[in-house]
A and B are shown apart, each in its own frame.
Chain A
Amino acid sequence: KAGVTQTPRYLIKTRGQQVTLSCSPISGHRSVSWYQQTPGQGLQFLFEYFSETQRNKGNFPGRFSGRQFSNSRSEMNVSTLELGDSALYLCASSAASGSLLYFGPGTRLTVT
């Protein structure tokens, strides 16, 4: 079974721009979660989507948003990028909310 895929794998953006990251979960998985990983803060939960509904949200500003489509694929968007948004953004899928999480390879975002 194919794993979680994320596109693009690497991205360089300028401060003030916006960015959209994409995630395709494992086939049959209906829950998608997003995490931000930085050297200083480690892995932090952004939000979770299940059946196209946001189920849970972490402590991030409103510039961070996401959505899930009917085929369970998910996107996250970051608007008005700041230098501190440079991070590895990880998508994880699970069969159901609260089930085991399986992570994708991540998208490395660099904001200059």
Chain B
Amino acid sequence: QKEVEQDPGPLSVPEGAIVSLNCTYSNSAFQYFMWYRQYSRKGPELLMYTYSSGNKEDGRFTAQVDKSSKYISLFIRDSQPSDSATYLCAMSASGAAGNKLTFGGGTRVLVKP
């Protein structure tokens, strides 16, 4: 079983809908949680960053972390066709882990006009 599980999708939604993405993990040492967006043939782009549990909002994006359930979510409101991409969750333990991130497999999202 992988340390971080993510539904590969694809997840298809109509324009304007809310996109809901999530990851589950097994390593209780993870404290830093990130969401990256990756367009085809591009490198991952950092979208959201959260430390420990709680919610964080940035424009149309909301990230939630529930450490008790080992579950993180990303919501995209008022989705646009330009949001069509693969979304990757990533997490790491303490700062001593440096830049060793553990990634989920990614969820493909398709927003249809």
CB–CB B105/A98 < 8 A: no
A55 CB within 8 Å of chain B: yes
Chain B positions within 8 Å of A, measured between CB atoms, are 34, 36, 41-46, 49, 88, 90, 92, 95-106
Would you call the interface of chain B mostly helix, strand, loop, or mixed?
A: mixed
Determine if B45 and A98 form an interchain contact, defined as CB atoms under 8 angstroms apart. Answer: no
Q: Across the interface, which residues of A come within 8 angstroms of B99, CB to CB?
A: 31, 33, 45, 48, 55-56, 92, 94, 97-99, 101
A28 contact set on B, CB distance < 8 A:
none
Chain A interface SS verdict (over half): strand
Give A102 to B43 CA distance when docked, in angstroms: 9
Quick one: which of A58, A90, A99 contacts B100, CB cutoff 8 A? A58
Smallest beta-carbon distance A53→chain B, Å: 11
Asked if A43 and B88 make an inter-chain contact with CB atoms under 8 angstroms apart, the answer reads yes
Report which A residues bind B (CB closer than 8 A).
Answer: 4, 31, 33, 35, 42-45, 48, 50, 55-56, 58, 90, 92, 94, 97-106, 108
> CA separation between A42 and B49, bound complex, in Å?
20
Contact between B100 and A105 (Cβ–Cβ < 8 Å)?
no
With beta carbons under 8 angstroms apart, the residue of B36, B98, B104 that contacts A55 is B98
A48 pairs with B88, CB closer than 8 A: no
B54 to chain A, nearest CB (A): 17
- A101 nearest in chain B by CB position: B99
Asked, given contacts A31-B99, A56-B97, A97-B99, whether A105 binds B46 with beta carbons under 8 Å apart, the answer is: no
Q: Do the beta carbons of B44 and A103 come within 8 Å of each other?
A: yes
Cα distance A100–B77 when bound, in Å? 24
Between A44, A45, A90, the greatest number of chain B beta carbons within 10 A of the residue's beta carbon is seen for: A45
